[in-house]
Amino acid sequence: MNKSSRLQTVFAATLAVFAASHAHAADPVTTGVVIRGVTLTGPAGAPGTATGKVCDFSGEEVNQAGRLTGASVNCRAGGNLGNTLVGLPARFNAYCSVKAPVKSARTIVAPLRDNANHCDLSGITIKDATGQFGGAVWR
């Protein structure tokens, strides 16, 4: 095998691995829980108790149809509250959660360097997202 053939083989193998890893990452999360972090001012209450606030999606980017294009959430296929909260940044002292799948939305795994459970939520209106995620609880 000459040098050119070896390079082509290595390149093809690299592309195959890259394509396989990205195809898996684009699979929607349809089981487990989806969590939206919230930062509230003032003294925090006891963990798990209601804050009296809802999850705010109003600052998120929307498309021309008024649907979210990639709001940050935490999710984990088959995950529960305990293992899906892992990686949620410390700046969030409260959170809202909903059982996956989020109706009328697409939740895609989009891990970050410091948060393997990071996901993107899209395709849902701000009003519907706020309604489904409901009230926040203290972390």
Q: Is the peptide bond before 101 cis (omega within 30 degrees of 0)?
A: yes
Non-local CB neighbours of 110 within 8 Å, separated by 6+ positions? 25, 70, 118, 119, 120
Q: What is the pLDDT of residues 44-80, one digit of tens each?
A: 999 999 999 999 999 999 999 999 999 999 999 999 9
Task: Supply the pLDDT for residue 25.
Answer: 56
Token reading at 98: 């909903």
96 - beta bridge partners? 36
For residues 25-46, average pLDDT: 93
pTM of full prediction above 0.85:
no
Confidence of residue 18 (pLDDT cuts 50, 70, 90): very low
Query: pLDDT value at position 19?
Result: 43
Return the domain boundaries, the chain.
28-138
CB 55 within 8 A of CB 134: yes
- pLDDT band at residue 31 using 50, 70 and 90 as cut-offs: very high
